[in-house]
Copies of this chain bind each other. A is one copy, B any other.
């Protein structure tokens, strides 16, 4: 239940009493002072009714992200508004920052096509300690400089809480990866920022938990959260993961959050990415996250799934009519 406190009662002893009653505390979010309780489905206790400007009762932990609380949310990055229902935004770039030349080459290619949002990871959340772990802060700086020089926005990942501040300072969009999705240190840092957060679903994460992670950020006052479906882990190993478009239908129906799709990680192989990207576009989603690399076979991570420039260009050119068929444009 969300209790929106009347502006003139904010800070009053009755609000403190209300918080004690529900064992919680007030939050500043969505332009108001809110008191949010978990799983209170009975509605506000009558003795507190005079404190409330609005009461929104939900039956679970989908609260600030609930479409019935707020119809829609959108974020504007680099002049591009993501989540207003008119656009499918392209976020493209290599898996990882490997060196300046690779980033410049890819950025030049993408700027040439008209792409506005550039992705690449500086802190790589590799499972094995013996794999390439990313260039860290040095990579982040390369990314910032190369993108600044070309008018591209930087979308990059926070791997863990120890460097969250760096990423939140230097990136335009901070991505929380699938493996960091439950990390309270990261979620809190992102909730205390006002940067746009691209929250990826963990590969073993239910839709309910996915939305709860977004609530962590929203309830700390950052309204700029976008959900990203990137494939879940199932018994099928013929592909890397299983892209969950049924889950996308679910979050589109129930939540107010923009939805971005990452077919590259889901598929794990170049050959299916473009078909999947067109399918995602026809679902009417707010963005696509696509990996592209100058020489994918030599990439230090995700070599099998990154598109070549040629493949990416063919995909890019095929998307506008698909988007148009569902009333959107590609940007």
**Chain A residues near B (Cβ < 8 Å):** 24, 36-39, 61, 63, 123, 125, 127-131, 133, 159-162, 179-180, 182-187, 202-209, 212-213, 215-216, 219, 231-250, 252-253, 266-268, 271-272, 275-276, 278-284, 318, 321-322, 324-326
- Contact of A130 with B232 in the complex, beta carbons under 8 Å: no
Which 10 residue pairs are nearest across A and B when measured between Cβ atoms?
A204-B204, A249-B272, A38-B130, A160-B185, A282-B282, A179-B182, A321-B325, A239-B246, A161-B161, A279-B279
Contacts A276-B283, A325-B321 given; indicate if A236 touches B249 (C-beta within 8 A). no
CA gap between A321 and B280 in the complex, in Å: 15
Contact B279 A282 (CB under 8 A): yes
User: Is the beta-carbon distance between A244 and B247 smaller than 8 angstroms?
Assistant: no
* Known contacts A245-B276, A249-B271, then 14 further A-B pairs from the complex at CB < 8 Å, ordered by chain A residue: A127-B182, A130-B215, A159-B185, A160-B161, A160-B184, A161-B185, A185-B185, A206-B235, A238-B247, A243-B245, A253-B271, A278-B282, A321-B324, A322-B322
User: A249: nearest residue on chain B (CB-CB)?
Assistant: B272
Give the residues in chain B near A241, CB-CB below 8 Å.
Answer: 246
Most buried by B among A236, A240, A268: A236
> Which residue of B has the minimal Cβ distance to A37?
B130
28 interchain pairs (CB within 8 A)? A61-B127, A63-B130, A128-B215, A130-B215, A161-B162, A161-B185, A179-B182, A180-B182, A183-B183, A203-B204, A204-B233, A207-B236, A207-B239, A232-B236, A234-B234, A242-B244, A242-B247, A243-B246, A245-B245, A246-B266, A253-B272, A275-B283, A278-B282, A278-B283, A278-B284, A279-B280, A324-B325, A325-B325
CB distance from A177 to the nearest CB of B (A): 9
* Cβ distance A190 to chain B, nearest Cβ, rounded Å: 12
A322 neighbours in B (Cβ, 8 Å): 282, 322, 325-326
Q: How far is the CA of A244 from the CA of B240 in the complex (A)?
A: 12
A128 to chain B, nearest CB (A): 4
Complex Cα gap A276–B246 (Å): 7
**Chain B residues with Cβ under 8 A from A271's Cβ?**
249, 253
Contact B235 A249 (CB under 8 A): no
Min CB distance A63 to B, Å, is 7
A134 to chain B, nearest CB (A): 10
CB nearest to A277 among chain B residues? B282
Residue of B nearest to A134 (CB): B184
A182 CA to B127 CA, complexed, in Å: 7
Taking the nearest CB of chain B, how far is it from the CB of A16, in angstroms? 18
- Which residues from chain B contact A238 at a C-beta distance below 8 Å? 206-208, 247, 250
* Bound form: Cα–Cα A38–B182 in Å: 28
What CA separation (Å) do A123 and B182 show in the bound complex? Answer: 13
Give A113 Cβ to nearest chain B Cβ, in Å: 19
